[in-house]
Structure 1
């Protein structure tokens, strides 16, 4: 990078009141834990992710002795790990400074030895699934050449699948006879097909593809040995639902579950019932579904968002929960009905925040669901942040967000828009952005913006657009295509120049882009040009802040530099913050620094400080 781009100010404090300053920082620094997984045949051996050290790292928990051990300790953190079924080994993915490219290593659950390469004969790459059995390990690797799947058994590693299209290792049967993979040999990685192979020779046992525009996801094989049933998520009726597929008989049973929204599930350990999570309009609930009788029983969980759940061997259900006002907890619902906190991180719990309300706004493609958070001193119209989620196939929910909370503390109304492209609102809503990504979502954002102004909620002269990843892409695209709407823009790890991003990004994302745009940049150049923020960079009038990581494989740095150089050439009002990490930072202090930069930038631009 030859151009010296202006750096943002790093404020010593966002708030004059020490109590308020301490509160927003504590929301990020308070120790939190993920839902601990357990070893299949040794359920006392647990593994979770926590920020207790100040960096998100893996921790081992021996539940029998209630002892905890920090497993990884790397400058930029570690998120991806799992346990061998006997609980003897911890596997974790070893990349370089957050670039997501690397190999799997393993170390003893109890520690005492340095990690060693888990599969030394498997080349480095981006992870594409991992299934660990007692005798067989299957692992997927993605590189610029496509996808390759490997099996390791009896000290020997073999590549059993390779294709230029996206593929992954998806599920391994309990007796390790059957291996399910997801693939996109039909050319559409956003709507994958399934294939089940015999682990002895890797002959095809069964295949399933629902046709164009209808994806299938293998969730898990039955937990019973010798049971060939595979739980599958499908979208045959314009939403994500469930079916049970007997892969050896090649027969299936679609589960007719009368619930709104979309469904995902997993097995209870006896293989007779399923734990169902329902996602609907930004909230979620848990149910037990009896396969023999098709009986659905709700589990009485608090209103809010369930980030993950699993049924233990004794029938207890563990889950993570939060809502906008209350920080996350890992809870357990015992078979007898008692619901309690499972694990308490060290130190004080994060301070709470404000609840949110729902808005349903008529948009050009149908009703748009938005979540609205207002400051305690709700003086309207207020400066307003439109916080656009990433993905795009994701959604904003009634869950706790330290990031949302600091904006509210700073006196902003925060509006989160589940635009077309979001999940949880049906397949047609999710796929409506195909062939016109970015511009379609921003039509929905504009509709919600108009609604917020018309309701006296948002000050039209003090509206900020912000987001990270796909949300950062939408932010830059909004600044160029809707310049009259925005007083400032803040884009974290964005796509800024789509053609260059495509050239530099990881192959899995290139496959995603081809499916979303209708081809590669050489095949549909007009679509990429029309939907790229750099096309409209000369129309940007509002001050803009961009934050990016040096090692990001998803939104690579070169294409961001191209956009910044164009801003610099025309003397635009912009600032750039560059940091040593990948697609975001796992270091708590770095996250706090970036949030302070972002909020202070908006306050300065709007004349609030």
Structure 2
């Protein structure tokens, strides 16, 4: 992969050193519990990962712990074994009793996929799936993947690519009519270059998924039939009696649309009876349903459901089906306007094990404004209890819930993820919940954070129903002794996503380099209600940009804007600031008004739709920012119609209806172009760094190339980094490190290198 890293010696404490130091904290990706005799001692198995920058790879390893119940709601935890590196493993899943573990791995020599079963006595089964040749590659990640044990622990269920004939290699001596022994050979050769659809960004090798069952007792592998041809199956699990499978089926006719980060695709929860081959739809006919989770007693099936079309991510319903009667109820409905107690469900998936032992309560993780909280849902009373509200950590993620033991991670912008456990008390007694640290990570010095709540002013040109909705921003700051800090402003991508208050090594590294960082959750972000999400439709390029700007009309008697600051759970009301210009950035000016920030050293850092917003800001405030670094930027909306895997969003975002057979009209293309930053490129003066992946299926990298050429032709300093193997997210250990290093150096170059005072701290 070509690197955009500038050659030269990295100074001590520079971008590369900071990033490498802060990337060493591991992330827990999976956890499983096993009970011992007496059910008072539990074994906790975790899988972790972290970047190994010197070797340019992701280091994966396991950790083992022992949990001891010392009372009805108390636990003691200790490390039970040394960490061990995980080699070649693609998937793993423990059986319901915890006595067996299924592991899918790839043989490093032949590249074959092996499915093995391990227990206390060692390896009991090993099957070379590739050698059997009944299907293609197993799906190991993404929305389709699963690895599910039957309740009898004798069969395994997973998803793989449908097997297709290998294309014949053309022989140089083949001539028409020679060697044609059968008409079938001609048909097979004619299929070699037929276009096969895939599921878009990050799913380019996923085309036709099939459900597969490995019978451990009979040592047989079966590709299930009976699934309607218009469906692509995934997220499968066994029915309560092991006689059928429950799965999510996505409609893929007349053609596939991008599925990654898109919970609005038509899909349903289905049951396939293995004996009769009958396939039954369990969820609503025209909906987007996913993430089925069966209760421990097998009587209830919990799943998420949303509307088809519209915003790609939105507030979802929590539905529950009673297995015997097939009756469905909505446990939690879509929340239009959030309350202090509950802001709605926005999770893409439910935790793999989310049910309490009573088969009545469930725990889910979801954004709640700018936090990621764990919510306990009583499915009988339809009540919600926030288990983590008010905690100093801003991001909680549930790993597993077994035998009423909660295993989770928590983090904050200045604290890497910590592994914690808790005992779930009986119904009605859940609070306060006592979390016990298993692997406790201290806060990182040199980084502080707070949540800013911004209330847009009334009046002006924006309708009151949309113009007065509050939004939030997270402010990360270096120590006050180094003030005033240059400020890096970051609107998130999506646009329907959210900056929750989690640990982000790159943002913490910017703080340690002397920058403050403002993460803006403009209206349309997840976690603030469905009305906020839908308020952005038809207003893309206007409302999302305006949320960082204020018109000088309708601001109240004193011409100011009131705002609040959330710091450590306290709500502080500050005074109003006056506008010195017709339009200024609301979120930015709020931070500049109250924090030790340098108003003359501002920069923009964003990706995808966030980069779309940033480019609009560069055109509207050409003198305001001194540097801008963008990843996978959206700059030309009409150009995306024929290149993006989500063409529907290009219409929906502008309030235009979409249908599969639709072709763009001249007036619609004109509207899209007028909303595009490229149309305002003549006003841009800020130096711009562009980082793109050549394999981006969501936003074509030619967008950045077009913008780069326009800026260079107009004399604007511009630099383009082109990553040949990169996708839209520019993911990967080496790519992520290289992108951060170049962005940080771009800011230091154009905003000025912070000096160090006598105490060794940064100073302006």
The interval holding the TM-score normalised by the smaller chain is 0.7 to 0.9
Structure 2 CA distance for partners of 1:295 and 1:593, relative to 1, 3 Å: closer
Does the CA-based 8 Å contact 2:361-2:379 persist in structure 1? yes
CA offsets per residue over residues 18-51 of structure 1, 9 Å max, x none? 8x96453132244322254799xxx999896734
Does the CA-based 8 Å contact 2:23-2:50 persist in structure 1? no
2:566 aligned residue? none
Structure 2 CA distance for partners of 1:51 and 1:8, relative to 1, 3 Å: closer
2:511 aligned residue? 408
Shift of 1:540: 1.4
- 2:409 corresponds to 1:320: yes
- 2:241 corresponds to 1:131: no
**1:136 aligned counterpart, secondary structure:** strand
2:736 aligned residue? 591
2:310 aligned residue? 188
Residue correspondence of structure 1 range 345-384 to structure 2 within 5 A: 354-364=447-457, 365-366=467-468, 367-376=470-479, 378-384=481-487
1:207 aligned residue? none
Shift of 1:565: 3.1
Does the CA-based 8 Å contact 1:505-1:555 persist in structure 2? yes
Q: Distance in 1 between matches of 2:711 and 2:607?
A: 19
Residue correspondence of structure 1 range 431-580 to structure 2 within 5 A: 431-445=534-548, 446-455=585-594, 457-506=596-645, 509-519=646-656, 522=665, 524-579=668-723, 580=725
Residue correspondence of structure 1 range 156-305 to structure 2 within 5 A: 167=288, 169=290, 171=292, 188=310, 216-218=316-318, 221=321, 228-231=327-330, 233-235=332-334, 237-239=336-338, 259-263=341-345, 267-275=355-363, 277=365, 279-292=367-380, 299=387, 302-305=391-394
Shift of 1:356: 0.3
Q: Distance in 2 between matches of 1:166 and 1:155?
A: 28
Q: Distance in 1 between matches of 2:700 and 2:102?
A: 37
Does the CA-based 8 Å contact 1:129-1:169 persist in structure 2? no
Structure 2 CA distance for partners of 1:397 and 1:181, relative to 1, 3 Å: closer
Shift of 1:395: 1.8
- 2:119 corresponds to 1:16: no
Structure 2 CA distance for partners of 1:606 and 1:467, relative to 1, 3 Å: same
Structure 2 CA distance for partners of 1:601 and 1:237, relative to 1, 3 Å: closer
1:340 aligned residue? 436
Residue correspondence of structure 1 range 79-94 to structure 2 within 5 A: 79-80=141-142, 81-86=145-150, 89=156, 91=158
Shift of 1:167: 5.0
Shift of 1:435: 0.9
Structure 2 CA distance for partners of 1:320 and 1:13, relative to 1, 3 Å: farther
**1:448 aligned counterpart, secondary structure:** helix
Q: 1:31 aligns with which of 26, 29, 44?
A: 26
Q: Distance in 2 between matches of 1:190 and 1:97?
A: 14
Structure 2: 5+ residue stretches without partners: 35-41, 61-89, 112-138, 162-197, 257-265, 426-432, 458-466, 549-584, 659-663, 755-764
Q: Distance in 2 between matches of 1:422 and 1:513?
A: 18
- 2:753 corresponds to 1:608: yes
**1:33 aligned counterpart, secondary structure:** strand
Does the CA-based 8 Å contact 2:317-2:334 persist in structure 1? no
Does the CA-based 8 Å contact 1:393-1:430 persist in structure 2? yes
Residue correspondence of structure 1 range 101-116 to structure 2 within 5 A: 101=204, 102-103=206-207, 104=209
CA offsets per residue over residues 397-421 of structure 1, 9 Å max, x none? 2211111111101111111111111
Does the CA-based 8 Å contact 1:30-1:350 persist in structure 2? no
Does the CA-based 8 Å contact 1:100-1:553 persist in structure 2? no
Structure 2 CA distance for partners of 1:511 and 1:350, relative to 1, 3 Å: farther
Q: Distance in 2 between matches of 1:125 and 1:585?
A: 32
Q: Distance in 2 between matches of 1:561 and 1:123?
A: 43
Q: Distance in 2 between matches of 1:528 and 1:584?
A: 24
Does the CA-based 8 Å contact 1:126-1:141 persist in structure 2? yes
Shift of 1:469: 2.2
Q: Distance in 2 between matches of 1:217 and 1:597?
A: 42
Structure 1: 5+ residue stretches without partners: 1-5, 193-214, 241-257
Structure 1 stretch displaced more, 423-432 or 176-185 = 176-185
**2:250 aligned counterpart, secondary structure:** strand
Structure 1 stretch displaced more, 479-488 or 78-87 = 78-87
Structure 1 stretch displaced more, 494-503 or 169-178 = 169-178
Does the CA-based 8 Å contact 2:630-2:691 persist in structure 1? yes
Structure 1 stretch displaced more, 409-418 or 87-96 = 87-96
1:140 aligned residue? 250
Does the CA-based 8 Å contact 2:5-2:741 persist in structure 1? no
Aligned length: 548
Does the CA-based 8 Å contact 2:511-2:517 persist in structure 1? yes
1:427 aligned residue? 530
Q: Which has the higher contact order (CA 8 A, sep 6+)?
A: 1
Shift of 1:238: 2.4
Shift of 1:350: 9.8
Q: TM-score if structure 1 supplies the norm length?
A: 0.74
**1:486 aligned counterpart, secondary structure:** coil
Q: TM-score if structure 2 supplies the norm length?
A: 0.60
**2:719 aligned counterpart, secondary structure:** strand
1:200 aligned residue? none
Shift of 1:524: 3.0
CA offsets per residue over residues 118-174 of structure 1, 9 Å max, x none? 77999999988633335235332657725687986649999999xxx9956554777
Q: Distance in 1 between matches of 2:642 and 2:58?
A: 31
Does the CA-based 8 Å contact 2:478-2:511 persist in structure 1? yes
